[in-house]
Amino acid sequence: MVPVRFVSEALGETVEWDQNARSVYIGGRPYISSETKQVKVNGKTFSLNIVRVDLNNKKIGMKIVLAKDALGFTESLKDMAKRNHALAAINGTYFNAYEDLKEPTGNIMVDHRVVHLGNYGTTFGFTDDNQVEFDVVKFKINGITNKDGRDIEWAPYAINRTPPVNLSTIVLYTPDRGSETRFNSGISVVVENGVITKHLKGNVVIPKNGFVVNLSGTETRYLDRFPIGGKASFSPAFEPSGTDVSFWQKAAGALGVGPRLITDGKITVDPISEGFSSEKILSYSMARSAIGVTANNMLLLVTVNRATIHELASIMHSLGAYNAMNLDGGASSGLYYGGRYLTTPGRDLSNALIIYKKND
């Protein structure tokens, strides 16, 4: 039986549920469906769970979500999906699963906001009208303060990430970090409504209407660039390697993961060139997740029980992906659809990509 949620989200449109095909139809046309199948690639058989999403349907939306709506926490994929009224969800980028703070490691954009810098691998991005791109993109933050009537530029090395102990650095914290910075080192500059209000030490509350800039180690020498009463602001910048910067400037969401699997219909796996060195990426056969888009704009969310990265690329190619990349895998690999798991993750997650139905 289709969950009642699907009916309520249809907002008066004709909705049909095909149990055999595990598909949702709006106005007689399927826009999201799932399938469990065996695929034979290079003489080996792989068990796949697949969710297909028609991105040509303007009632479909995509969103990057954070565990407990903040960076550094974890939550079950199912709870993230349900809390955001998702039709489908798949695990996102890598994170420090074995640390006290479960911080992600890749580029992340949520609701047009850059909330984390990763700067390795491939980044998947999408716009509000379901345009998508895959590219190696450097995300940056450019800041400006005003002192004595002149603008002074500053740039954080990271955003919403705990600075390493005994490292000199500048880190930006926004409300996407949560209510507090959650560490005690350095000196923090508090900005509210664009005005610098405080210089504090220790764990600092992040204002909902502002941000915090933390200076640690030798970087505290720049504290005089942030005078109390002065103005401060920041904005994102993007350095794509193969796509137009205007796409990233208007992107609604993005996940930096990788490596890239398919480029313009061809297998293009080269993890070392994207900054990967772990054997989990280079050679291991393990549970994998992947995201791809076909030439006719069908989004593919895929999990496989066990495969190498090169095998995963061949699998996505066999499914018709025109562009595709790897997502976090192993115990993080998870796929949710129709109110239940198709692939159950072995742990709580830091972030995810969800598919939802837009309100009219």
Q: Tens digits of per-residue pLDDT, 251-303?
A: 999 999 999 999 999 999 999 999 999 999 999 999 999 999 999 999 999 99
Whole-number pLDDT of residue 175:
99
Q: Is the pLDDT of residue 13 over 90?
A: no
Average pLDDT for the chain: 93
**Contact predicate 314/255, CB 8 Å:** no
Q: Tens digits of per-residue pLDDT, 195-250?
A: 999 999 999 999 999 999 999 999 999 999 999 999 999 999 999 999 999 999 99
Distance, in Å, from the CA atom of 186 to the CA atom of 156, rounded to the nearest integer, reads 14
Q: What is the mean pLDDT of residues 331-346?
A: 98
**Contact predicate 67/74, CB 8 Å:** yes
Whole-number pLDDT of residue 149:
87
This prediction's pTM: 0.92
Q: Where are the domains of the chain?
A: 4-134+251-357, 140-235
Distance, in Å, from the CA atom of 334 to the CA atom of 77, rounded to the nearest integer, reads 7
Within 8 A by CB and 6+ apart from 294, the residues are: 300, 320, 321, 322
Indicate the SS3 state at residue 21.
coil
Distance, in Å, from the CA atom of 116 to the CA atom of 132, rounded to the nearest integer, reads 19
Whole-number pLDDT of residue 14:
46
E strand or H helix that includes residue 314: helix 309-318
What torsion, rounded to 10 degrees, do the Cα atoms 340, 345, 351, 354 define? Answer: -30
E strand or H helix that includes residue 310: helix 309-318
Q: What is the mean pLDDT of residues 80-84?
A: 98
E strand or H helix that includes residue 82: helix 77-83
Distance, in Å, from the CA atom of 1 to the CA atom of 43, rounded to the nearest integer, reads 37
Q: Tens digits of per-residue pLDDT, 23-42?
A: 666 555 569 999 999 999 99
